[in-house]
Amino acid sequence: MPDSPRSDASQPQARPQRPKAAKPRTAAAVTSATAAAAELHEPILSWYDANARVLPWREPDAGAWAVMVSEFMLQQTPVVRVLPVYAIWMDRWPTPKALAAEPPGEAVRAWGRLGYPRRALRLHAAARAITDNHGGEVPNDHADLLALPGVGTYTAAAIASFAFGQRHAVVDTNVRRVFARALGGDAQPSISPTAADLRRAEQAMPLDAATAAKWAVATMELGALICTARTPKCGHCPIVERCAWTLAGRPAYDGPPRKGQTYDGTDRQARGRLLAVLRDSAGPVGKARLDRAWPDVAQRERALDGLVADGLVEPLARSRFRLPI
DNA sequence: CAACCGTGGTA
DNA sequence: TTACCAAGGTT
């Protein structure tokens, strides 16, 4: 069932071949990296048992759809803001079929102010794909998951791991940061995910599928609660004694500057304002209403065109607009 | 592959 | 107050 490469140190010859020509690595180096990571397993798994947050999508009876919905909502959005929207969403659409039966605009409306509303559109499209191609059941195969709209490397691995107990490297920003510090000795991970991040996570995984699945959620939780980006709570960290960054004296971040994302006055903000008008209106809206939502004409038109092109807004006759049906 | 895509909380 | 950050994906 698990389709991730196995790293069986007892059989160096059987090292998984990597089609994309990674740097050649000796069996000894692989064994060494795996062994170092293995010492982190017990402390992190025990810490998770004692400190995991109670979240609705982690309940034993939550199901794969619950996991999938939560993963979409949690893409770039904090847990506390997801919780209320998630509850309403699951109450209204407890299955992929239920969501698939509604127009995409209803998904966009229910998405509320979670941000990145294209995620709502993609989740709706994924629900229809699941209904059409998978009998209404969230697929358990990694490749099938990856083929769904809005499901990338991380989300496919997360659903396969959290919902189906499979062995996959689940590499999000939390995990990248935990490993960058504990194994790499760096204050922060690289700006964007790298192949090295994935390789490191694969080597660090426990071999047993069930343990690997728990390891995946545990390392994420550690990054979310203890090994945080700004002021990590190293005093409460279960692996502080083995953390390469701590052992190095916690040197400051010295990499390239992180891209500061401004928001005020951007097209993104303009799109958000326009879409908010449509979300808050039961039916179609006249152009004049949208004109009032953003002062700059050129930017407003560009934003509206973009929303229409993305399928988030549907143009009607006589300069009227609505959420897509 | 760099740029784009929302929103709100916090140090 | 400004800047950074939050369970990424797509083009």
Q: Is residue A188 part of a domain?
A: yes
Contact A291, A300 (CB under 8 A): yes
| pLDDT band at residue A29 under the 50/70/90 scheme | low
Boundary-marking domain end, from A99, A134, A162: A162
Amino acid of residue A98: A
Q: Which nucleotides of C are covered by protein (CB under 7 A)?
A: 3-10
Q: In Å, what is the separation between the CA of A46 and the C1' of C9?
A: 33
A120 and A174 inside one domain: no
d(CA A234, CA A245): 11
A72 and A216 inside one domain: no
**Nearest nt by C1' to A76 Cα:** C6
Crossing angle for the helix pair A195-204 and A27-51, to the nearest 10 degrees: 70
Q: Is residue A294 part of a domain?
A: yes
Q: In Å, what is the separation between the CA of A247 and the C1' of C8?
A: 31
Residue nearest to nucleotide B8 (CA to C1'): A81
Q: Is residue A3 part of a domain?
A: no
Q: In Å, what is the separation between the CA of A149 and the C1' of C10?
A: 10
A46 and A60 inside one domain: no
**pLDDT per residue as tens digits for the range A305-314:** 999 999 999 9
d(CA A240, CA A236): 8
Residue nearest to nucleotide C2 (CA to C1'): A262
Q: Is residue A257 part of a domain?
A: no
Q: Is residue A220 part of a domain?
A: yes
**pLDDT per residue as tens digits for the range A111-130:** 999 999 999 999 999 999 99
Boundary-marking domain end, from A162, A188, A205: A162
Does pLDDT of A198 surpass 60? Answer: yes
Q: Residue A139: which of A126, A124, A121, A120 has the closest Cα?
A: A126
Buried b (16+ CB within 10 A) or exposed e, A150-173: bbebbbbbbbbbbbbbbbbbbbbe
Of residues A28 and A267, more confidently modeled: A267
Amino acid of residue A7: S
Cα A12 to Cα A27, A32, A80, A109, A134: the distances in Å are 6, 12, 45, 54, 39
Does pLDDT of A211 surpass 90? Answer: yes
Does pLDDT of A22 surpass 60? Answer: no
What mean pLDDT value characterizes chain A?
91
Q: Residue A230: which of A253, A248, A257 has the closest Cα?
A: A253
| List of A residues 275-314 with CB within 7 A of strand C | none
Contact A183, A171 (CB under 8 A): no
Q: Is residue A6 part of a domain?
A: no
A211 and A185 inside one domain: yes
Boundary-marking domain end, from A141, A162, A183: A162
Q: Give the CATH number of the domain where residue A219 resides.
A: 1.10.1670.10
Q: Could you check: is the Cβ of residue A289 within 7 Å of any atom of nucleic acid strand B? A: no
| pLDDT band at residue A44 under the 50/70/90 scheme | very high
A72 and A123 inside one domain: yes
d(CA A134, CA A208): 28
Does pLDDT of A68 surpass 70? Answer: yes
Strands A285-286 and A314-316: unpaired
A74 and A157 inside one domain: yes
**pLDDT per residue as tens digits for the range A233-288:** 999 999 999 999 999 999 999 888 887 778 899 999 999 999 999 999 999 999 99
The pLDDT of residue A15: 31
A217 and A303 inside one domain: no
Q: How many domains does chain A have?
A: 3
Does pLDDT of A73 surpass 90? Answer: yes
**Nearest nt by C1' to A151 Cα:** C9
Query: What mean pLDDT do residues A133-151 have?
Result: 98
- Active-site annotation holder among A39, A42, A71, A102: A71
Does pLDDT of A320 surpass 80? Answer: yes
Q: Give the CATH number of the domain where residue A271 resides.
A: 1.10.10
Here the tokens at position A307 are 């929303």
Tally of CA atoms within 13 A in the half-sphere of A243 that contains its CB: 27
Q: Could you check: is the Cβ of residue A77 within 7 Å of any atom of nucleic acid strand C? A: yes
Of residues A257 and A181, more confidently modeled: A181
Is A301 an active-site residue?
A: no
Q: Domain span at residue A130?
A: 56-162
Does pLDDT of A219 surpass 80? Answer: yes
A172 and A240 inside one domain: yes
Q: Could you check: is the Cβ of residue A302 within 7 Å of any atom of nucleic acid strand B? A: no
Q: Give the CATH number of the domain where residue A108 resides.
A: 1.10.340.30
**Nearest nt by C1' to A118 Cα:** B5
A32 and A64 inside one domain: no
A115 and A195 inside one domain: no
Q: In Å, what is the separation between the CA of A118 and the C1' of C5?
A: 21
Q: Is residue A147 part of a domain?
A: yes
A30 and A174 inside one domain: yes
Q: In Å, what is the separation between the CA of A61 and the C1' of B2?
A: 41
A158 and A61 inside one domain: yes
Q: Is residue A65 part of a domain?
A: yes
